[in-house]
Amino acid sequence: MTTSRFYALVPAAGVGARMGTNIPKQYMPLAGKPILLHALETFAALPAIAHTYVVVNADDAYIRDVLASEKHLSDRLTVIYDGGSTRQQSVLNGLHHLRERLADDDWVLVHDAARPGLSVDLVARLLEELREDAVGGLLAMPVVDTLKRADGEGRVEATVPRAGMWAAQTPQMFRYALLCRALEQAQEVTDEASAVEALGLRPKLVGGSPRNFKITLPHDIALAELYLKGIE
């Protein structure tokens, strides 16, 4: 059995421009608490997660207020004030800060700050499926809708076969040294799995959940609240 530890890393330096609000979307209220806090509390509730790190901008004006009343998180969470201009850079900056704290074979679970529907069961499933895996992997959902590729005029150019197609979610879980190497060498990737794939490796897909979707547009808030209330 592996003796590697498990750590969560949550990049939260984005501004969420598509939400059209005056605060970053990860700090918008959802079911009585900031969006970001839902995921942080999920990781904190799992004894298997040794510690959680959240990466924010150096001038972040919200995170201290969010955590001020959450004393139960103080021993389970550390804030890293070194967010980058992209998700990739924020994650890499966070990993570099942890170089003296994590072993090369420790696992890092990178999770989107704007996915508040993450549950303890989903994380436990990911750990169970990947703890002995040679590469690592990610939560994902099989694509069930018919896919269309658009041309430059917004018209259908082709129907894309959906067989074997999955929609990536997070957390995405890889060993510390591998993840550092992949992100340092990758060119403008939007998730960690893509960086690992660029090394010629094949991450494992682990079944996720519709509730673990990413809040992107204003109407997503209402849907997320329904899921959090248990209305599937």
Instruction: Tell me how far apart the alpha carbons of residues 112 and 209 are, in angstroms, rounded to a whole number.
Output: 15
Please report which confidence band the pLDDT of residue 16 belongs to, taking 50, 70 and 90 as the band edges: low
Residue-wise burial string across 77-95, b where 16 or more C-beta atoms lie within 10 A, e elsewhere: bbbbebbbeebbbbbbbbb
Instruction: Tell me how far apart the alpha carbons of residues 201 and 196 are, in angstroms, rounded to a whole number.
Output: 6
Domain assignment of residue 33, given as a range = 6-228
The count of domains in the chain is 1
Longest dimension (CA), the chain: 54
Residue 148: half-sphere exposure toward Cβ, Cα within 13 Å: 6
3-state secondary structure of 77: strand
Q: Is residue 168 part of a domain?
A: yes
Q: Is residue 56 part of a domain?
A: yes
Question: Model confidence over 160-176: pLDDT tens digits?
Answer: 999 999 999 999 999 99
For residue 232, pLDDT over 70 is answered with no
Q: Is residue 1 part of a domain?
A: no
Q: Is residue 204 part of a domain?
A: yes
Element spanning 228, H or E: helix 220-228
Distances (CA, A) of 161 to 136, 145, 202, 207: 26, 10, 21, 20
116: domain CATH number is 3.90.550.10
3-state secondary structure of 88: helix
Q: Show the CA angle centred on residue 221, arms to residues 38 and 47, nearest 5°.
A: 15
Question: Model confidence over 117-147: pLDDT tens digits?
Answer: 999 999 999 999 999 999 999 999 999 999 9
Q: Is residue 91 part of a domain?
A: yes
For residue 148, pLDDT over 90 is answered with yes
Q: What is the pLDDT of residue 2?
A: 58
Q: What is the pLDDT of residue 71?
A: 85
For residue 17, pLDDT over 80 is answered with no
**DSSP annotation of 151:** -
Q: Is residue 95 part of a domain?
A: yes
Q: What is the pLDDT of residue 120?
A: 97
Phi, psi (rounded to 5 degrees) for 38: -60, -50
Instruction: Tell me how far apart the alpha carbons of residues 151 and 160 are, in angstroms, rounded to a whole number.
Output: 13
For residue 6, pLDDT over 90 is answered with yes
Per the DSSP assignment, residues forming a β-bridge with 110 are 9, 172
State what percent of residues in the chain have pLDDT above 90.
Answer: 83
pTM: 0.93
Question: Which tokens sit at 43?
Answer: 């990781």
Q: Is residue 219 part of a domain?
A: yes
